[in-house]
Structure 1
Amino acid sequence: MPINESDVDWSTIGPDDTGFRRKQLGAAAGGDDIGCSLYELPAGERAWPYHYHTRNEEALYVLSGTATLRLDDEEEELAAGTYVALPTGAEHAHRVVNDGDEPVRYLVISTMDEPDVVGYPDADALGIYAGTPPGGDEDERVLSGFFHEDDDIDFWDEIADD
């Protein structure tokens, strides 16, 4: 079903309703296996923390404005018309930072596979999503959480004996 982005409400991402905004276009159009979100990132703000997916591939396309993409610990300039493929794996960790004076608008397209584990290298943490993938309906999640990588426990001592 075709939709117009003007008919989709913004949701604000981040603490205390500050940060960046997203319109989940893929979900609004009835998409199941491919997600598409329109993001608007104000000047001086950062999008999601530096991360990578183990299951879901993403792509980014800049519609307007300029920003910096931190990609595998390198910095790349983004401008209107720039397309970036973001395959799975730690070598494709990424984050968008708007270090300019104007908002930047961009699309993120992704596969919507689950379960997915998301790595956050700067925090030595990971996120787990099952039931719906990241960006999916949180009410349908059967399992999710965020953990420090050093929270590892011994399976046989901690779980198997219970």
Structure 2
Amino acid sequence: MAILRKDSVPVTEGVSGYPDPFDLGRGFLSYRHLTEAGGLTQFGIAVETLQPGRQSSQQHWEEHEDEFLYLLEGALTVVEDETETVIHPGDACCWKAGVPVAHVLRNDSDHPATYLIAGSRLPHNVTHYRGIDLVGTPWGYTHLDGTPYPTKGETE
């Protein structure tokens, strides 16, 4: 058993792994990866803080991974396809694997928003990104036609 005391898990600065031109840069969010610190491997849970004026990811849906969010502090705009919903502390979101509802979190406020985020950790998952030429596969990012994007540091 692992007891994780408040603030015992280090904060990690978020760094986008998306290929250009979809890269979100760094510093848009920070997180404490709780399950990783506890040695768990079958699912992932983190406490994330999304900075004002930023978005959490590219708008996406997962083929094989469930995702869950519980808002702790602040306010978030949850974008699901074209629908925008503002959520507040105590509100939760569930995205079922295989349901093609593309979602992204946006912090439209002047204050950081902190939430608990949970998901499966399935190595065979495929992530679809809405409206852009990007697919996340177990082997890396590809264009919609299956052509791989270069890894960071390479050129096309």
User: Aligned with 2:100: secondary structure?
Assistant: helix
1:38-53 alignment runs, 5 A limit: 38-53=47-62
How far 1:33 moved relative to its partner?
1.0
Does 1:64 find its partner at 2:73? yes
Superposed CA deviations along residues 92-136 of structure 1, whole A, max 9, x for unmatched, are: 21100000111000011111122111111121310112xxxxxxx
CA contact (8 A) 2:128 2:134 kept: yes
How many residue pairs get aligned? The number is: 139
CA contact (8 A) 1:55 1:114 kept: no
Q: Tell me: CA distance 1:99–1:113, structure 2 relative to 1, closer, same or farther (3 Å).
A: same
Indicate the residue corresponding to 1:147 in structure 2: 142
- Normalised to the residue count of structure 1, the TM-score between the two structures is 0.79
- Listed as ranges, the gaps of 5+ residues in structure 2 are 17-24, 148-156
User: Which of the residues 86, 96, 114 maps onto 2:105?
Assistant: 96
Indicate the residue corresponding to 1:105 in structure 2: 114
Residue identity matched to 2:9:
V
Q: Which segment drifts farther, 9-18 or 19-28?
A: 9-18
Question: CA-atom RMSD, angstroms?
Answer: 1.8
Superposed CA deviations along residues 14-71 of structure 1, whole A, max 9, x for unmatched, are: 3553211111111111212121011101111111111111111010000000010011
Indicate the residue corresponding to 1:26 in structure 2: 35
- Normalised to the residue count of structure 2, the TM-score between the two structures is 0.82
CA contact (8 A) 1:72 1:91 kept: no
CA contact (8 A) 1:51 1:94 kept: yes
- Aligned partners of 1:116, 1:45: CA distance in 2, in Å? 26
Residue identity matched to 1:149:
L
- Is the helix fraction higher in 1 or 2? 1
Residue identity matched to 2:114:
R
Q: Tell me: CA distance 1:52–1:111, structure 2 relative to 1, closer, same or farther (3 Å).
A: same
Indicate the residue corresponding to 1:159 in structure 2: none
How far 1:5 moved relative to its partner?
4.2
- Listed as ranges, the gaps of 5+ residues in structure 1 are 130-143, 153-162
CA contact (8 A) 1:90 1:119 kept: no
Indicate the residue corresponding to 1:11 in structure 2: 12
